[in-house]
Structure 1
Amino acid sequence: MQAEPTRAIARWFDTANRAVMRVTEAVAVLLVIAETVILFTGVIFRYVLDNPLIWSDELASILFIWLSMLGAVVALDRGEHMRLSAIVNRMPDKWRGWFETMAALVVCVFVAMIIVPAYQHAKEQMPITTPALGLPDGWRAAALPVGTALMLLAAVARMARHATLKQFWLGLAVIAAIGAGLWFGRPLLLAMGNYNLIIFFVVLVGLCVAGGIPIAFAFGTATLAYLALATQAPLQIVVSRMDEGMSSLILLAVPLFVLLGALIEMSGMARSLIDFMAALLGHVRGGLQYVLLGAMFLVSGISGSKAADMAAVAPALFPEMKRRGSKPEDLVALLSATGAMTETIPPSLVLITIGAVCSVSISALFIGGLLPAVIATLAIVIVCYVNTRKETPARAQRAPWRVIGRNFVIALPALALPILIRTAVIEGAATATEVATVGIAYTIVVGLAMHAVLRHLDFKRLYPMLIETAALSGAILLIIGMATAMAWALTQSGFSASLVGLMHGMPGGATGFLLISMVVFIVLGSVLEGIPAIVLFGPLLFPVARSMGIPDVHYAMVVILSMGIGLFAPPVGVGFYAACAIGKISPDKVMSRMWLYLAALTVALLIVALVPWISLGFIK
């Protein structure tokens, strides 16, 4: 809002918000560190000293909801919540600014409506005390009203910085008109029965997502509107479901693995992997394409974030690949394909999310995800071979064995980390959350040891890295919380029972159900990304799969690979546009190069779906 006196108001909001956000970021960083230290200490006392700390998990759980909410606040202030931006970004600047204003207004309206219910929820939790520490549970639940209040400040300040007065009033008028239309149309919505779910959870969510509103707030807005207009349920249910969805201790693996991935990159271990593989294969025809493929396989196994994987690998390899004659659009297509095929590699955040929200063993998912990823990798290898078989041999000379050996020694700690993580999980030595803390401690020790020799660490990056960890974790966990509330509303409406009946009636039995699920999750993965799609539909479809005799791990692998294909499939896939942004190339130039890769990945998906042993063969 740029006219006087609105400029003064905007400056005041901006100044206040900056001060508050600096404090919020500092607290979020301390919470990331505290969670890591508490859980690692618990691991040491449990497995090394054989003297479990009965309070460690409880304290970690109390701090976790605070980390989730404050991380979500930081992500909102930084504009880093997951959303579909492809449609808005194609619009003229004038309309793009208006949609940004609309997104901020919707966030403001939503959080303003749940602040009071969040406070009431925290107040009701105060008489309940935690079993080990004897603390009022309201101290934990207070994170919800505090977080929503800070989100309101962040959203208002962001809107004040970027919106014009005209955009603000026009956006407010549109929201008021939609709200009035739904309110006065309430008798008709009630008369529609469950068909009104289409209005709230298809039309309204679709409009919000297409308009660039963060996915978490799109889910929350639709759920709030449904409960207020089509049911008699109190709005406090949204908050209680959010609390339930964001408080599972299993989900603590999310921020811990995000931190582990960031430390891998900062310590230089990711680069050492790439240097070793480049020395080993860089001289063969198309060798660097195989290096990129292998690097994504290994890095995905330890970072768990697709954007982080691509950002770590591409800058290290693209310049040399371009120098050897590779076209930028071909490189981005390969990067997208490798991003899609690594979705099942542990410790993928999608695997952890499925385990948490669908009651599937995370250890079993970690074991079951490796072979499907190998099948998908081989499919991409075949495409790489076909694409490069007519190329002239690489101009690079074969690296001397001495250089290969030196790079192998440097990369050995990084190569050992995925083995350490997977062995600990497979042997049952630690849970997914605990093994993340072990990986963090290992990476810190190795990184400091390498720094003593190479002097390569930039410790100034540590604080921003911890802020980024909190923000990314908060964005993911808020989606899980909002989608949990939305899934509860769908379940209470009877939709889930109808869905189960419909799926049971599909022809083809279990095989037909798997094929339908593939199509559904390819579409969902392209629009919602993996985590929100699985949180919303996983609790509905996994019970159907179980009733048809499909093992949880097998169904999970089919679902994850399907979402991976959708995530990187043009023209909608969000991951595809992220790869284009990292490669700094127009999506229009990449689309035509993607189809052969997607066809190969689809064949790999069919093989995994039709041969359950690929997912289940190594599970005890």
Structure 2
Amino acid sequence: MLIKQQAGLLDYLSRLNKLLTTLTAWAGGLVLLVNVLVVSASVIWRYVLHSPLEWAEEAARAMMIALVFFGVATSTGRGGHIGVDLFLRFIPGSVRPYVVHASRWVLFLVAVGLTMSSYSLLQVSRYQTTETGLPMIISIAPVLIGSVVMMLGALEHALKERMKVVLLSGAGIALLVVLGWLKLSLMADPATAAAGLMFICFLLGIIAGVPIAFTLGMSAMVFFICDPTLPFVFFSQQVVAGVDHFVLLAIPFFLLAGAAMEHNGMSTRLVELVVRGMGRFRGGLNMTTVLSMAFFSGISGSKLADIAAVGGVLMPAVRRAKEDSNEAAAVFAASAVVSETIPPCVNLIVLGFVANISIGALFIAGLIPAACLLVLMLIAANRFGGKINIKDAYPQMRPRLQLWLGALVGLAMIFMIGRGVMMGIATSTEISAFAVVYAVVVGRLAFRELTLRTTVKMFIDIAAMSGVLLFIVACATSLSYVLTIQMIPQQIAELLVSIGQSQGSWIFLLLTIVILIVFGAVLEGAPALIIFAPILVPIAVQLGFNPLHFGIVMILAMGFGLFSPPIGLGLYTTCAICGVEMKNVIRPMVKYLLVSLFGIILIALIPTISTWLPGLAGY
């Protein structure tokens, strides 16, 4: 009887979820398109027509919030949030399926909490307006809509399993909730237990493989529930505040520009050109991977997007040339570390935002460190690689003119981005909007491979991807707010300042590198930056470090952790894209990681590498 009821409910939820996620997917794509047009128009009106659109930034921020929640709702409905089994392998096999399925209930509970909290926020802001007179409801309504769709999608996926697993995993979550409630009810001041329960939820979420955004969101939500002095509406309010910033629009815009350059065929042309140029040398295919990753880092802004773009093109050539796929995956992951500071990197944008550092200055500061690491990695790729037969890798070759055209179109966009940042012509967000227009229009004219259907799908997919990425930022901001209330950053700051003053500033720097490698492996770049950058950057400045130099070291250390075995989340993704198992990648990767680590330490010990170029540019 229960099984029939489950099947009937699942069928109804599946049809409803398919309809709702289709609507949010199209809505997200449309919002992204309109936002690109609004930001581009605001620049034209300001610089060309000398008549600024006063409402443009607030409208763009409101659409940014809609983009995030429509995107994350779409991904949740499609099952796009995947936990990483970092610690699940240590759980007995008989228990593991129940622990894995419990993470689906966590997604549902976080979505329920966001729905309830955002409904309260909507009621509070119903009659409020923004500074330019726009109704506040346009920013809050998409949060409620996205949370409801996310809740229904999470419920469908929670019920998609054998009845025994569904019930027992749900009962396990319910038991934890009851135990937490009992602990609170037995305490004279429940607020004192809020922080402890928050940290327990965070640890359990990491161990159970709950997606990082929902681990962060669950931890913050539990704190707001347990502390009676804070209204629960603060939960959604802080989540919204985490992405209600114009500067963060650069992230989806750069992702979109990179996707446009990939879909119009530039990536395949560029990689083939590099293979044909470097293939005659020893380690030519490995060197191609390093150079291609560096090139696409200047386009997409996201390291995982770079690996997906280059790996999808280059791995077939690796297999055709009968090269070791595990070695190739190791080079991909190590090259991602090398290219962490090549603008327009997502983490550089996030760091500038949370630490109040000029994003343009960070873009410039990352160039020479990236060049140094690139040279070291090319030497390693040449030393540890072998020669290939180019005709095996590419049995059918394109004319060289096509290949050079693809490379020149991409280089022109990188030049436009770099020139705009260095000259201060526009903000990084405005430049990224023009990069999208350039990639779509010029790419279409140059290659004629970016069809209308492909363009529509690209906007929809990037909207969903941006929602997932920025939802991590939103939940990390909410947790960061909670940590600030608990005075935890201040306590850490006092400890680190005392270490720096007693043991020396360089000991503080090396300790920071170790901390960020560890947390970068578990938390990914954005949440780790949001939590640690506001703490560490002021301390570094107090101890005499240049914030640009320290920021670049932070980015590189977290990138090293993200792609390091056995915990690095980025390495798991790299292995999945390359079609290999991580256990087979660790040994060939060690030598490349040691080269990367040597370069990072060198950059940390010689601040001039990071500060010389920004100084010339006037920063």
- TM norm structure 2: 0.93
Q: Counterpart of 1:69?
A: 69
| C-alpha distance in structure 2 between counterparts of 1:590 and 1:124, whole Å | 53
| C-alpha distance in structure 2 between counterparts of 1:79 and 1:337, whole Å | 29
Q: Counterpart of 1:542?
A: 537
Change (3 A) 1:279 1:11: same
Change (3 A) 1:189 1:546: farther
Q: Equivalent residue of 2:468, what SS?
A: helix
Shift of 1:439: 0.8
Does residue 111 (structure 1) correspond to residue 111 (structure 2)? The answer is yes
110-119 or 463-472: bigger deviation: 110-119
Does residue 407 (structure 1) correspond to residue 400 (structure 2)? The answer is no
Q: Counterpart of 2:153?
A: 154
Change (3 A) 1:613 1:187: farther
Q: Counterpart of 1:227?
A: 224
| C-alpha distance in structure 2 between counterparts of 1:281 and 1:425, whole Å | 31
| C-alpha distance in structure 2 between counterparts of 1:157 and 1:482, whole Å | 23
Q: Counterpart of 1:500?
A: 493
Shift of 1:210: 2.3
Change (3 A) 1:609 1:168: same
- 1:310 and 1:339 in contact (8 A); partners too: yes
Q: Counterpart of 1:560?
A: 555
53-62 or 521-530: bigger deviation: 53-62
| C-alpha distance in structure 1 between counterparts of 2:389 and 2:381, whole Å | 14
Amino acid at match of 1:174: G
- 1:98 and 1:163 in contact (8 A); partners too: no
| C-alpha distance in structure 1 between counterparts of 2:586 and 2:3, whole Å | 43
| C-alpha distance in structure 1 between counterparts of 2:572 and 2:424, whole Å | 38
Does residue 427 (structure 1) correspond to residue 426 (structure 2)? The answer is no
CA deviation digits over 1:572-620, x for unaligned, max 9?
A: 1111111111111121111111111111111111111111111111112
Q: Equivalent residue of 1:355, what SS?
A: helix
- 1:279 and 1:407 in contact (8 A); partners too: no
1:176 aligned residue (174, 177, 181): 174
Does residue 575 (structure 1) correspond to residue 573 (structure 2)? The answer is no
Q: Counterpart of 1:597?
A: 592
CA deviation digits over 1:166-192, x for unaligned, max 9?
A: 222212221121112222223787889
Does residue 36 (structure 1) correspond to residue 36 (structure 2)? The answer is yes
Change (3 A) 1:116 1:315: closer
| C-alpha distance in structure 1 between counterparts of 2:180 and 2:211, whole Å | 22
CA deviation digits over 1:122-180, x for unaligned, max 9?
A: 22223322233x222122122222222221111112223x2222222212221121112
| C-alpha distance in structure 1 between counterparts of 2:122 and 2:530, whole Å | 24
Q: Equivalent residue of 2:235, what SS?
A: helix
- 2:265 and 2:447 in contact (8 A); partners too: no
- 2:197 and 2:222 in contact (8 A); partners too: no
Shift of 1:26: 1.2
1:154-553 map, 5 Å: 154-160=153-159, 162-186=160-184, 197=195, 199-201=197-199, 203-230=200-227, 232-388=229-385, 391=386, 407-452=403-448, 456-506=449-499, 507-553=502-548
Return 5+ residue gaps in structure 1 as ranges.
none
Return 5+ residue gaps in structure 2 as ranges.
none
Could you tell me the percent identity over the aligned residues?
A: 30
Shift of 1:549: 2.5
- 2:351 and 2:357 in contact (8 A); partners too: yes
Shift of 1:374: 1.2
| C-alpha distance in structure 2 between counterparts of 1:180 and 1:287, whole Å | 59
435-444 or 316-325: bigger deviation: 316-325
Shift of 1:88: 4.4
| C-alpha distance in structure 2 between counterparts of 1:23 and 1:90, whole Å | 40
Q: Equivalent residue of 1:617, what SS?
A: helix
Q: Counterpart of 1:13?
A: 13
| C-alpha distance in structure 1 between counterparts of 2:230 and 2:202, whole Å | 20
Does residue 584 (structure 1) correspond to residue 579 (structure 2)? The answer is yes
- 1:114 and 1:235 in contact (8 A); partners too: no
- 1:115 and 1:145 in contact (8 A); partners too: yes
Alignment RMSD (CA, Å): 2.6
Amino acid at match of 2:81: H
Shift of 1:519: 0.5
Change (3 A) 1:238 1:46: same
CA deviation digits over 1:458-509, x for unaligned, max 9?
A: 5433333222211111112211111111111111111111111100111433
| C-alpha distance in structure 2 between counterparts of 1:190 and 1:330, whole Å | 58
Q: Equivalent residue of 2:231, what SS?
A: coil
| C-alpha distance in structure 1 between counterparts of 2:107 and 2:387, whole Å | 54
378-387 or 240-249: bigger deviation: 378-387
Amino acid at match of 1:177: L
| C-alpha distance in structure 2 between counterparts of 1:159 and 1:224, whole Å | 20
| C-alpha distance in structure 2 between counterparts of 1:283 and 1:231, whole Å | 68
- 1:279 and 1:403 in contact (8 A); partners too: no
Amino acid at match of 1:26: W
| C-alpha distance in structure 1 between counterparts of 2:306 and 2:291, whole Å | 12
- 2:279 and 2:390 in contact (8 A); partners too: no
Amino acid at match of 1:63: M
- 1:2 and 1:164 in contact (8 A); partners too: no
Amino acid at match of 1:172: G
Amino acid at match of 2:583: D
Amino acid at match of 1:19: L
- 2:334 and 2:593 in contact (8 A); partners too: yes
Q: Counterpart of 1:55?
A: 55
| C-alpha distance in structure 1 between counterparts of 2:218 and 2:369, whole Å | 37
Shift of 1:395: 6.5
465-474 or 430-439: bigger deviation: 465-474
Amino acid at match of 2:16: A
Shift of 1:316: 2.4
| C-alpha distance in structure 2 between counterparts of 1:363 and 1:189, whole Å | 50
| C-alpha distance in structure 2 between counterparts of 1:504 and 1:25, whole Å | 47
Q: Equivalent residue of 2:111, what SS?
A: helix
Change (3 A) 1:393 1:245: closer
| C-alpha distance in structure 1 between counterparts of 2:535 and 2:188, whole Å | 24
CA deviation digits over 1:76-103, x for unaligned, max 9?
A: 1222236423444897997564334312
Change (3 A) 1:99 1:395: same
Shift of 1:17: 0.9
Shift of 1:296: 0.5
Change (3 A) 1:200 1:282: same
| C-alpha distance in structure 1 between counterparts of 2:587 and 2:604, whole Å | 27
- TM norm structure 1: 0.93
- 2:285 and 2:388 in contact (8 A); partners too: no
Aligned length: 610
CA deviation digits over 1:375-432, x for unaligned, max 9?
A: 22122122113213xx4675769x9xx9656632442111221111111111101111
